[in-house]
Structure 1
Amino acid sequence: MRNWIKDNGGFIAFLLCFVFFRTAIADWNTIPSGSMRPNLLEGDVVFVNRLAYDFKLPLTDIVVAHIGEPRRGDIATFSSPKDGKRLIKRIIALPGDRVEMRDEILFINGKAAEYSEPEALWEPSESGGIKALRLTETSGQNKRQIQLLAGLFAKSTFGPMEVPEGNFLMLGDNRDNSADSRYFGFVPRHLLIGQAQRILVSADIKGSWILRLERFGQRLQ
């Protein structure tokens, strides 16, 4: 065994550095579902900065030091408080915020978000297609595209509720097709993995598998 370790010392050191890098510094995340459409598509691979918020012991949720503060509008990866599954959603509300939704309209601390005129289109689905509306949602200094889908059940009304200290409310941009804080509750800070900052590569995994070159390197907003 000692001889094997000695003969493969360089490779072992490389593996240890790689594991440390991926579990403590930076990572990538493949988008498997449409819960963040239209901003993230199935087949996008995004760069995740694990040091955006906290430094953790590798392979654990133990926070060693706070590095930065999560912000409203950040796209973040995290472990689901329900089953530990790795998810990616948008941070909508911070600790102490009072948040509610009334018929798809978001309210943060009593102020309603503003919405652009909706753009109607057909969104691909397993049954062939579904009518969708895309809008720009502006809440304070944050602006993003969201999507609403016709005929799907979703919690379009909830609250008002106050986000507890050390927790965050997460929503998918594809509001009617996203399992998020409306279903599994608030996300404690120690379950945040990192901030998704940029699309590295992208391919149409639901169709022809053609590379979507126009999405390579695209910064997330």
Structure 2
Amino acid sequence: MKNWIRANKGFVMFVMLFGIFRTAVADWNPIPSASMHPNLLEGDVVFVNRLAYNVKVPLTDIVLGHTGEPQRGDIVTFSSPTDGTRLIKRVIALPGDRVEMRNERLVINGQAADYDGVVRTADHIKGVGELTALQVAEKIDGGRPHTIQILPQVQARRDMAALVVPADQYLMLGDNRDNSADSRYIGMVPRALLIGRAERVLASADIQGNWLPRTERFGMSLYPLR
């Protein structure tokens, strides 16, 4: 083994540096579920900026310093506070925010979010089949609007009692509101568990269909100008 390492030390060094880069600087994240429909699809691979919020010791959640502050509307990868699973959701409420949900509608710090432009479509739910889906533009506290999806035929938590987000924690929701295991189920997400900010789709393939590449999604920004 030592002889192999000595003979391939250049390759070993590359692998080590590549691993450090992926765990400390930038990463890519495959999308395995429908929780961020319609903005992220199964088979998308997104670029994640690991230096957007924190500098961490590689391969750990030990924070060395802060590089930026999460904003409402950011799409973030993080480790689940319940079991450590890597998840990707949207930041909805910040530390100190008072937030509640009334029949799918968010109210943050006493201000109701704006909802506009309902589009009726369909979405295929694994193990269930094709269901009616409503897509609508959600705008929180004057920020940039983003599209969310509602599934009226699915039993889901459409109401959330008013609460105040604790210091150094964040409330995350999936854009596919009725098909997402988010802060309504796993609780608030501590800042130390944030991995990075998802920036754009690097590549995409129809993994639930014919596996053909979806070239129209290659390089697509997750924060389109409106």
Q: Settle same-fold status: TM greater than 0.5.
A: yes
Q: Work out whether residues 100 and 160 of structure 1, in 8 Å CA contact, stay in contact via their aligned partners in 2.
A: yes
Structure 1 gap ranges (5+): none
| Residue deviations 1:132-173 (CA, integer Å, cap 9, x gap) | 100000112131000000221111111210000000000000
Aligned structure 1 segments of 4 or more residues deviating by more than 4 angstroms: none
| Residue deviations 1:94-124 (CA, integer Å, cap 9, x gap) | 0001110000000111100011131111112
Residue in 2 that maps onto 1:175: 177
SS at 1:10 equivalent:
helix
Q: How far apart, in 2, do the equivalents of 1:152 and 1:17 lie?
A: 46
| TM, length-normalised to structure 1 | 0.97
| Residue deviations 1:168-204 (CA, integer Å, cap 9, x gap) | 0000000000000000100000000000001000011
Q: How far apart, in 2, do the equivalents of 1:72 and 1:56 lie?
A: 22
Alignment of 1:95 with 2:78, yes or no, is no
Structure 2 gap ranges (5+): none
Pick from 195, 198, 202 the counterpart of residue 196 of structure 1: 198
SS at 2:178 equivalent:
helix
Residue in 2 that maps onto 1:32: 32
One-letter amino acid of the structure 2 residue matched with residue 102 of structure 1: R
- The 5 Å alignment of 1:53-202 reads 53-126=53-126, 127-140=128-141, 141-202=143-204
Distance verdict in 2 for CA 1:210–1:3, change over 3 Å:
closer
How big is the shift at 1:125? 2.5
Q: How far apart, in 1, do the equivalents of 2:149 and 2:86 lie?
A: 22
Aligned length in residues: 221
Q: How far apart, in 2, do the equivalents of 1:203 and 1:152 lie?
A: 27
Q: How far apart, in 1, do the equivalents of 2:5 and 2:122 lie?
A: 57
Q: How far apart, in 1, do the equivalents of 2:16 and 2:43 lie?
A: 28
The percent of aligned pairs where both chains have the same amino acid is 60
Distance verdict in 2 for CA 1:95–1:9, change over 3 Å:
same
Residue in 2 that maps onto 1:21: 21
Q: Work out whether residues 72 and 142 of structure 1, in 8 Å CA contact, stay in contact via their aligned partners in 2.
A: no
Q: How far apart, in 2, do the equivalents of 1:4 and 1:117 lie?
A: 62
Q: How far apart, in 2, do the equivalents of 1:128 and 1:50 lie?
A: 36
| TM, length-normalised to structure 2 | 0.95
Q: How far apart, in 1, do the equivalents of 2:144 and 2:184 lie?
A: 20
